[in-house]
Amino acid sequence: MDEQWIQSVGIDVGTSTTKMIVSRLRLGRMSSTFSLPRYQIVERQLLYASEVHSTPLIGFDEIDADGIGAILAAEYDKAQISLSQIKSGAVIITGETASKKNAQHIVHLLAERSGDFVVATAGADLEGVLAGKGAGAEKRSQAIQGVIVNVDIGGGTANAAYFQRGRAIATVTFHVGGRLIRLSPQGVVQYVSPNIQQWLSAKGLRIQVGQEIGFAQLTEVAEQLGRSMLDYLTGKERQVSGLLVVGPHLRDSIPVDELTVSGGVGLLMSGPPVQNISDASRYGDFGPLLGYVLQQEREKGTYPVQWLDPDQTVRATVIGAGMQSTEISGSTVHIKPELLPIKNIPILKLELTEEQLADATRLRQEVAAIYQLGERLFEKTTGIPFALAISGIGYCSYALLQMLSQELSEQYRATFPESQTMVVICETDMAKALGQALALRCKGAPEIICIDQVRVEYGDYIDLGEPISGTIIPVVVKTLAFDERP
């Protein structure tokens, strides 16, 4: 198997911390010598992990771009690596930082300087999916018959992502985190997040700033908070626990077979027993106690779900990106050359079965579900929120083509009305016909790019180059890389 090594960088600019990881990725050629080269990441080695820096901000709502640049420059020096030695990588701006007013400016700045990097902002839902990939939940879901949910619990929120057969099927975010309640070493309450006040009242729990709280009372709050999150995740109870949900609720109750917990609180689940206020408040908040009570729930086995250890906890973040392949889409594409080139488009995959294609109602539901997931994971934009890769279609009759284009276009325009360009990737050679059918319905709002002969997977990112000889498009497929348990 032909192979090559590349050096890759993963940079995570989070709400409170910024870190960088340098890795070596071994790319193995998976295609024959008679076809276009296609590579897959077959081995990864961590070369350097930076210290964890406080994310530099200017005031409360602006990222300090110069500060970020200074941190990265110093870390490149420590890692003894230059930008010219980096082939590919990923910069992900996560958490509340992603909503800072100049986050998009930072993203574009980094993209301009980063060559083949994936550069993206990740809100709570996409952050939950990325953490689930890093924690190993996505990979595990490919091996089991059922659903696994990973919950990444940090300081202010818990981001849950459900995976089934190797793809995220739903996300939900909770006001559950270690720093929602802050304490002095003596147990005097310094801060209670307003985001949990309604839930506290519904539970009949009282805790307020200035109060010297007893260990038993604080434990009761932590236990109830952890149980409410588990109640919601497992579908046991949704009314009161739903008060903790940030943003949209789950559309349906999803039976969960396995559960992993990552993030700072996930790491604290393996810590020593928390037996008094001094133990609980050792980081100035109640994170250690929250981790401990979740571990107690795991040991009691109260919930009908199998708890697993995640592959990673606090480093369940991207370590880089591998440039998987450069492919060519041509012969049956539908494009407007002036819209190209385009970089860093995330992939959503619509996998259809024969039964769904034969039933207009089921097809409509599948298209609605994938667009709703895209709405949660990626920002609504005047540009391209994602590229939709369609698989599972063999022979496509004229009637099926019309039905498919109707659902794709109508629901896209309703869900992403600001988007000026829609990108569709077909598995089979039908891009020209589908593109024309979509364009006929959309009438330029949005414009349509429809390509085929490109193999992508859920979670990849693609770059579309400028057309060659009119209708041939070079496509670079980049896959995010996460550390894996040996």
Separation of first and last alpha carbons in the chain? 22
pTM of the model: 0.83
Phi, psi of 332 (to 5 degrees): -130, 35
Q: Are 480 and 138 in contact (CB under 8 A)?
A: no
pLDDT of residue 214: 94
Mean pLDDT throughout 97-104? 72
Q: Which residue has the tokens 């994310």?
A: 55
Question: What CATH number matches the domain at 4-122, 3.30.420.40, 3.30.420.10, 3.60.9.10, 2.60.40.10?
Answer: 3.30.420.40
Q: Are 11 and 91 in contact (CB under 8 A)?
A: yes
- The count of other CB atoms within 10 Å of the CB of residue 122 is 26
Q: Are 389 and 349 in contact (CB under 8 A)?
A: yes
For 86, the token pair is 């980096």
**pLDDT per residue over 403-438, tens digit each?**
999 999 999 999 999 999 999 999 888 889 999 999
| High-pLDDT (> 90) share of the chain, % | 47
Q: Which fold has domain 126-308?
A: Nucleotidyltransferase; domain 5 (3.30.420)
In this predicted model, which residue has the larger pLDDT, 24 or 371?
A: 371
User: Cα separation of 333 and 433, whole Å?
Assistant: 9
Whether the predicted pLDDT of 331 surpasses 70 = no
Mean pLDDT throughout 27-38? 64
User: Cα separation of 111 and 109, whole Å?
Assistant: 5
Whether the predicted pLDDT of 347 surpasses 60 = yes
Residue (of 464, 252, 477) closest to 337 by Cα position = 464
For the chain, residues classed under CATH 3.30.420.40 are: 4-122, 126-308
Q: Which residue has the tokens 């060519």?
A: 328
Residues near 316 by beta carbon (within 8 Å), at least 6 away in sequence: 130, 131, 132, 133, 134, 135, 150, 152, 262, 263, 310, 482
**What is the full DSSP assignment across 194-218?**
GGGHHHHHHHT----TT-B--HHHH
